[in-house]
Structure 1
Amino acid sequence: MGRLSVMAYTFGTLFFIVSCSFSIFYGVKVVTHDLPSEKKAQVKYNYHFVLVPEELDNEYWRLVEKGAKAAAKDYGVMLEYVGPKQSNIDDHLKAIEMSAASKVDGIMTQGLSDEQFTPLINRVIEKGIPVITVDTDASNSKRMAYIGTDNYYSGYLAGKALIADTKGKANVAIITGSLYKNHQIQRVKGFEDAVKAESGIQIIDVWESDISRVQAAEKAYQILQEHPEVNAFYGTSALDGIGIAQVVQKYKNNGQIYIMAFDTLPETLTYIQKGIINATVVQEPYEMGYEAVIMMIDIIEGKKVPSIIHTNTKILKVGDLPPSHPDRMEARQ
């Protein structure tokens, strides 16, 4: 091997050793730098709960989640928010089953139908995992407690308010989130019972929106085409009133159609301020979520809790909006 070859070989060897040294040094530096941050990220929780909503990105359920997460933070609970992206009972049931299989400490969910939810809730309870129903009860199941709206009463309030506002004369079309889910059924039934003694009020038809503002708008338009005598709507889910209002605003003069909506989403309140939606049923989703977490902790710790807690329900009209924020009303926190 010539002198130049020896020098090239030696230089190459040194370069390789130095490169490896730098790689090892920086590699160790990255690892030792990351380890402390990983340790800091580890948080100890007292319990692990899961909240399963009807629909993940539903604005109403985001308020329930917000309340539950606030309570989870206050009481040292790890809270997961999992469920179907769009309203789907099969996906909802799967989310509950997977949560139970992961052996969480407690599950909070709706009891959307007795036929499907009751046996699943009973199986979860038998495995030793407590279940609380939120917003919609499964009263025939072994669920530990229910917190949420008295859905029959809320429908009854809506009916009585409509009677007063229309002076007992209206041809009403009902658009409901579902014809098969417990809370929607009760909201329709309460309304029907409230108006049945009024000879001047006729329920023309009941249509389903599948908890979709797009479908609610489509159904409202179709109803107005098929039943021109309709001069009042009652929407039983948070998105129904918004969908109805969109159609009425576009195709009818304000004041021709009375609209009773549900919930206080910002868009609903804007329509109330504009005089397109006449009234809405107010629920307390934030409180439902917050109190559900506390109830679950109490159950796990052996404390006695009421089997049913009904959160407040009332009717809101334009005159009830806060003057400082006329187009919005935050959930009570």
Structure 2
Amino acid sequence: MRNRSWTLGLLGLFLVFCYVMLQFLLSTVHIGGLVGQMEPQSEVEKSFKHIVLIAQELDNPFWRTVEKGASEAAASRGMKIDYLGPIRINPTEQTSLLEKSIAAKPDALLVQGIKEPQYDMLISKAIDQGIPVVTLDADEPDSRRLTYVGTDNREAGRRMGELVVGAAIGKGRIGVIIGSEQAENQQQRLEGFRAAIANMPYFEIIDIRASNISRIQAAKHTEAMLKQYPAIQTMVGFSSLDAPGIVEGVKAAHRNDTLVFGFDDIAATRQGIREGTIKASIVQQPHEIGSAAVQLLASHFLGSALPQQHVIGTYILDAKTLTPVSSP
């Protein structure tokens, strides 16, 4: 009887042992399955590209649209866009952000050109560390940047000149608001504009002032300019917030007979065109600029050679239909 009890006890222990071993084996198989599922994710993370986009001004509508285009293009290409920029236009802070971004060792950088020796040195530093740099909106042609993606700013300025000459008949005395005196793209637009009106009789620039990419400053400068130079009949703005600011300045100066021309396509500019306070606008394509920059980076990562420049065209937005007509 005692032997039978021992036999039953040993059999029970054996069954318990078998159960524990079975659970262990099942757990091992389950864990192995989880590891197998994680391996493809690790490969994705390994091929993930981290791109830093440094804007001229963080919440500027133009740059936010560039970010949107870049982020949408990046999402389908195994890339992630980190968007940085000064709160207000500040080339020194842009330079500092570029230096900090290089130290973080991203896979690529998208930056606006500033045309300063220190900036060129930082671009070279990034290239030396294997970080490709693409300039947007304003080029840094003497640097070692990979390529430039954006508007041909001289051509855009020339096109603005032709637009003004065609529409401002009898109102050729012009006041100009530019976004920044230091920004190369603004100076190039002004150069193109000057060239377009240079040989046109009765067209001349009376005064030029900088808004510092501020609608409020554009309004203040416009009001002051019109009061100081009553002969001005036409106002031209070369950055996205200038035309809406000019409209406010025109109203403050009680000069509702003044023609206003702007740059870019934002809600306030469209409203002005609808109301007749803005004659027309030369419009860039920031979404396409951001998207094209990421597409070019993707090609570069695959070993393709890139052009020195990838120019995105402009179009004219006016009161006729508010339907953009693409440039050739």
Tell me if both proteins adopt one fold, taking TM over 0.5 as the criterion: yes
- The whole-number CA distance in structure 1 between the counterparts of 2:118 and 2:196 is 29
Asked whether 1:314 is paired with 2:315, we answer: yes
Secondary structure at the counterpart of residue 132 of structure 1: strand
Residue 199 of structure 1 and its aligned partner are, at CA, apart by 2.1
Using the aligned pairs only, state the percent identity.
35
Residue 162 of structure 1 and its aligned partner are, at CA, apart by 0.2
Per-residue CA deviations over 1:85-108 (Å, capped at 9, x if unaligned) read 111011101111111101100000
- What amino acid maps onto 1:276 in structure 2? T
Q: Partner residue of 1:62?
A: 64
Q: Partner residue of 1:99?
A: 101
Select which of 146, 149, 152 maps to 2:151.
149
Per-residue CA deviations over 1:247-294 (Å, capped at 9, x if unaligned) read 22344354x111110000011110011110101011000000011111
Q: Partner residue of 1:298?
A: 299
- The whole-number CA distance in structure 2 between the counterparts of 1:52 and 1:140 is 19
Asked whether 1:231 is paired with 2:238, we answer: no
Q: Partner residue of 1:88?
A: 90
Unaligned 5+ segments in structure 1 are: 1-38, 323-328
- The whole-number CA distance in structure 1 between the counterparts of 2:227 and 2:117 is 36
- What amino acid maps onto 1:55 in structure 2? E
Secondary structure at the counterpart of residue 211 of structure 1: coil
- What amino acid maps onto 2:166 in structure 1? A
- The whole-number CA distance in structure 2 between the counterparts of 1:317 and 1:245 is 15
Q: Partner residue of 2:184?
A: 182
- What amino acid maps onto 2:299 in structure 1? D
Q: Partner residue of 2:174?
A: 172
Per-residue CA deviations over 1:170-219 (Å, capped at 9, x if unaligned) read 11011101112110100111001100101201100111111111111110
Paired residues of 2:218 and 2:249 also in contact (CA < 8 A) = no
Secondary structure at the counterpart of residue 137 of structure 1: coil
Alignment of 1:313-332 (within 5 A): 313-322=314-323
Secondary structure at the counterpart of residue 319 of structure 1: coil
Q: Partner residue of 2:112?
A: 110
Q: 1:116 to 1:208 in 2, by over 3 A?
A: farther
- What amino acid maps onto 1:309 in structure 2? H
Residue 314 of structure 1 and its aligned partner are, at CA, apart by 2.1
Paired residues of 1:248 and 1:276 also in contact (CA < 8 A) = no
Paired residues of 1:114 and 1:140 also in contact (CA < 8 A) = no
Alignment of 1:140-289 (within 5 A): 140-167=142-169, 169-252=171-254, 254=256, 256-289=257-290
- The whole-number CA distance in structure 2 between the counterparts of 1:320 and 1:118 is 43
Paired residues of 1:171 and 1:203 also in contact (CA < 8 A) = yes
- The whole-number CA distance in structure 1 between the counterparts of 2:124 and 2:299 is 20
Secondary structure at the counterpart of residue 213 of structure 2: coil
- What amino acid maps onto 2:284 in structure 1? Q
- The whole-number CA distance in structure 2 between the counterparts of 1:188 and 1:312 is 18
Deviates more, 1:148-157 or 1:114-123: 114-123
- The whole-number CA distance in structure 2 between the counterparts of 1:314 and 1:119 is 35
- The whole-number CA distance in structure 2 between the counterparts of 1:217 and 1:111 is 27
Secondary structure at the counterpart of residue 155 of structure 2: helix
- What amino acid maps onto 2:88 in structure 1? Q
Unaligned 5+ segments in structure 2 are: 1-37
Residue 167 of structure 1 and its aligned partner are, at CA, apart by 2.3
Paired residues of 1:158 and 1:315 also in contact (CA < 8 A) = no
- The whole-number CA distance in structure 2 between the counterparts of 1:319 and 1:282 is 15
Paired residues of 1:249 and 1:276 also in contact (CA < 8 A) = no
Secondary structure at the counterpart of residue 299 of structure 2: helix
Q: 1:229 to 1:139 in 2, by over 3 A?
A: same
Per-residue CA deviations over 1:148-172 (Å, capped at 9, x if unaligned) read 0000000000001100001264110
- What amino acid maps onto 2:121 in structure 1? P
Deviates more, 1:163-172 or 1:88-97: 163-172
Q: Partner residue of 1:12?
A: none
Per-residue CA deviations over 1:40-77 (Å, capped at 9, x if unaligned) read x9983620000000001111111000001101111121
- What's the TM-score once normalised by structure 1's chain length? 0.81
- The whole-number CA distance in structure 2 between the counterparts of 1:114 and 1:196 is 29
Paired residues of 1:113 and 1:182 also in contact (CA < 8 A) = yes
